[in-house]
Structure 1
């Protein structure tokens, strides 16, 4: 029971999980309307994430390609192939399965959007999570 409590505490101390709970509480406290001064500040923070995440990704990549072994290189090729080929198709098929709208035009545009969304690179966010959780940073960043 002590291990379960310690694990639950560690999950709550994770900044991502903690901020989700802060966001949910703020949603109820502010009656689902963010004040203008706070909205401008949060928009500035949100727009700066992608640039700083890409900078961090590039900084992490310096000198890492030479360290890749044959096995990790094969894993890297498989991950890239899965992301580029399977993810767009998987996103489109999930919309095909889950969207029960009556209009064909709306359904087609949602499926096409899901396909395009699956093509977008996910590397910056994944690199930050890999670094935070001490996972295979050199493989993930590559």
Structure 2
């Protein structure tokens, strides 16, 4: 199950607060492990953060919306992750909890690398997850082969 990959990140204290790389020491070379480096990103960017659930810090990569996309006005729907080729859904990481949808652009955080690698194209859509074909494509990640 795709959610299994995020379990080490999603278990633990719900009050855990991610810390962006801008606030971490320069000795961490996060670029070496970027699992998204071989993907074509449109409206998304790779982001390395630290999270400390239950006092144990973990560094992890995720995809977030680019600043220019996140600044758009979104009303009347939800953000969700969708693979158009198969009609499957993935999840976002909201603080330290895996969720299927989020309300705000700054909550868009994809961590499910297995889902992204197993689908040639993954899209962040905005609208009604019950009708993904009618939802607006906000951003995408395409696996380069």
Q: Give the TM-score category using the shorter length.
A: under 0.3
Which one has a bigger Cα radius of gyration?
A: 1
TM-score (norm 2): 0.24
TM-score (norm 1): 0.25
Which of the pair is proportionally richer in strand? 2
